[in-house]
Amino acid sequence: MRARRVGRIVGCGLLALGVTLSASSVALAEDAPAAGTSALTLVTLTGPGTSAGTRDAADLLARQDAVLAAIGAEEPVYRWTTALNGFALPLSEAQLALLDDQPGIAVIEPDEVRPLAGRTTSATVRGAAKSPRLRGGAGVVIGVVDSGIAPDSPAFADVPGLGREPQEFTGECAEGDGWTVGDCTRKVVGARWFAAGFGTDRVRSSESLSARDVLGHGTQVSSVAAGNAGVSVRVDGRDAGSFGGVAPQARIAAYKACWGAPDPADDGCSTADVVSAVDAAVADHVDVLNLALAGGNGIDTLQRALLGAAEADIVVVGAAGNSGRTSYAAHASPWVTTVGSAVGRMSRAVLTGPGGRTFSGGGRPAAVRGRTVLAQDAAAPGVSRRAAGQCRRDSLDSRKVARRIVVCRRGGIGRIDKSDSVSLAGGRAMVLVNLRPGSVTADFHAVPTVHLSAAAGRSFSRWVATHPGARVRMTRAGGDPGNRRTAPWSASGDPRGPSVKPDAVADGDAVLGALPDATGRTWGVFSGSSAAAAHASGLAALVLAKHDWSAAVVRSLVAGSARPLRGSSVLAQGAGALPSRAPTAHLALDVPARAWRRALRQHTLADLNTGSLLLTARRGTATRTLTNVGTRPEYFSVTARGFTAHRVSIRPLAVRLAPGQSARFTVTVTGPTTPGGLDDGELVWLGARGGVTRVPVALTR
Query: Is residue 238 very low, low, confident or very high in pLDDT (cuts 50, 70, 90)?
Result: low
Range with the poorest average pLDDT among 20-34, 95-109, 470-484, 656-670 = 20-34
Mean of all residue pLDDT scores within the chain: 88
**pLDDT tens-digit profile of 329-361?**
999 999 999 999 998 666 778 999 988 889 988
Average pLDDT score over residue span 175-198:
95
Average pLDDT score over residue span 556-573:
94
Contact between 161 and 224 (Cβ < 8 Å): no
The answer to whether 530 is a known catalytic residue is: yes
pLDDT at 635: 96
- Closest by CA to 539, choosing from 119, 140, 164, is 140
Coil vs helix vs strand at 370: strand
Beta strands in 13-164 (DSSP E): 36-45, 78-80, 86-89, 105-114, 120-122, 141-146
- List, in order, residues 6 or more apart from 182 with CB less than 8 Å away: none
- Portion of the chain with pLDDT greater than 70, in percent: 89
| Domains, the chain, ordered by start | 120-345+485-573 (3.40.50.200), 348-476 (3.50.30.30), 587-700 (2.60.40.2310)
**pLDDT tens-digit profile of 508-531?**
887 889 999 888 889 888 889 999
Is a pLDDT exceeding 90 seen at residue 326?
no
State how beta strands 405-409 and 429-433 pair. parallel
Contact between 687 and 694 (Cβ < 8 Å): no
**pLDDT tens-digit profile of 158-185?**
999 999 999 999 999 999 999 999 999 9
Query: Is residue 365 very low, low, confident or very high in pLDDT (cuts 50, 70, 90)?
Result: confident
Is a pLDDT exceeding 80 seen at residue 364?
no
What interhelical angle do 217-226 and 529-546 show, nearest 10? 30
Range with the poorest average pLDDT among 69-78, 189-198, 391-400, 506-515 = 506-515
Residues 25, 38, 153, 217: which is the catalytic one?
A: 217
Average pLDDT score over residue span 116-136:
61
pLDDT at 618: 62
pLDDT at 72: 96
Residues 530, 556, 561, 568: which is the catalytic one?
A: 530
pLDDT at 478: 63
Average pLDDT score over residue span 654-667:
97
Q: How far is CA 383 from CA 379, 407, 505, 683, in A?
A: 6, 17, 44, 60
Query: Is residue 126 very low, low, confident or very high in pLDDT (cuts 50, 70, 90)?
Result: very low
Is a pLDDT exceeding 50 seen at residue 132?
yes
More confident residue, 5 or 585: 585
pLDDT at 481: 45
**pLDDT tens-digit profile of 403-439?**
999 999 999 998 888 999 999 999 999 999 999 887 7
Contact between 81 and 57 (Cβ < 8 Å): yes
pLDDT at 26: 28
pLDDT at 619: 66
State how beta strands 692-700 and 662-670 pair. unpaired
pLDDT at 514: 94
Average pLDDT score over residue span 273-301:
93
Residues 22, 38, 111, 146: which is the catalytic one?
A: 146
Query: Is residue 633 very low, low, confident or very high in pLDDT (cuts 50, 70, 90)?
Result: very high
CA atoms in the 13 A half-sphere facing the CB of 576: 22
Average pLDDT score over residue span 280-297:
92
> What are the strands of the beta sheet with 268-270, ordered from one edge?
78-80, 86-89, 36-45, 105-114, 268-270, 258-259
Is a pLDDT exceeding 60 seen at residue 12?
no
Query: Is residue 14 very low, low, confident or very high in pLDDT (cuts 50, 70, 90)?
Result: very low
